[in-house]
Amino acid sequence: MTNQELVQWIRTEEGKGHSRKELTSMLLQQKHSMQDITDAFNSIHAQPFLVSFTLLCGVGIISLLVVMFIIAIVTFSYNTTVGYILLPIVGTVVGYFMYHLKKNLHATERFGALLGIFAPTLPILFILLSLEVLQQLSAQLAEFSAIGGGGFSGLLTIFGPSIMNPFLAAGLFYLFCNLFMIISVFKEQEYKTYLWYLLAPTLFIIVWLLVDVFVGGILHSAGL
C-alpha cells in the first residue's frame, strides 16, 4: 500500500472499532515499516491548534460554570458532604465527555492526556481560590467576633460550620476528570503517555502556592 492507501485503510479499520495497537500489529505482519505506520497514524490524528484550543476552553468553561454552582450550593446549604459527593460526580461526567471527544476525533492518547490535564484548570483555580478565601475570611470573622466584634457575628451566619478543604476538593475533581483518560492510557498500553500525568501534581502544587500567596496578600492588604 502507498502512504495514502495506508492512511485510508487505517481510517476504515478504526471506524470498525480496531485499536491502534491492533492495527499496528496487523500492519507490521504485512511488512510495513514502523516509521510508515507511525507517520500514517500521526497524519490521521494530528489535531489543528484551533480545534485543540477550542476544546480545552470549551470544556474548561462548562466545567467552571457547573463547579461555581456547586460551590454556591455547598456554601449556603452548610453541607460540605454534598460538595464532596457532587464534585467527583461532575468530574466523572466531564471526564467521560472528554474521553468521548477523544474517541470521536480518533485523537492520540497524548492529546487525551493533555485535554485531561489542562481542561479542568479553570474550575480547579476557582475551587482553590473561592474555598481558600472563604476559609480565611471565616476564620478572621470568627476571631473578630470572639474578641468582642459584635458586628461580625451576623456575618458568620453566611458561612456553614465548616468549609470544604480547598486542596481535597480540587484534588477529587481533578482525579475524577481524568479517570477515563487514565484507564484508556493503560488499556491501549500507551505507558509513555502516562508520564504526562507527572505534570499534574507539579502543576497542582504551583497553582495552590500561587493561590495561597494571592489570597493572603489580598486579605493582608484589606487589614483582615
User: Range with the lowest mean pLDDT among 71-75, 83-87, 99-103?
Assistant: 99-103
Please give the backbone phi and psi of residue 190, each rounded to the nearest 5 degrees, phi first: -90, 65
Closest CA to 109 of 48, 51, 9, 182: 182
| Residue 28 pLDDT exceeds 80 | yes
What mean pLDDT do residues 107-121 have? 73
pLDDT tens for each residue of 8-19: 777 787 767 777
* Among 28-37, 83-92, 100-109, 146-155, the range of highest mean pLDDT: 83-92
| Residue 107 pLDDT exceeds 70 | no
User: Residue 221: which residues within 8 A CB-CB, separation 6 or more?
Assistant: none
Cell numbers describing residue 115: 485535554
| Residue 196 pLDDT exceeds 80 | no
pLDDT tens for each residue of 134-182: 877 777 666 666 665 555 445 544 555 567 888 889 888 988 988 887 7
* Among 82-86, 144-148, 195-199, the range of highest mean pLDDT: 82-86
Closest CA to 126 of 90, 77, 161, 93: 90
CB count, 10 Å around CB of 108?
Answer: 20
C-alpha distances in Å from residue 76, one per residue of 14, 72, 103, 184: 49, 6, 39, 38
Structure confidence at residue 89 (pLDDT): 94
Average pLDDT over the chain, rounded to an integer:
75
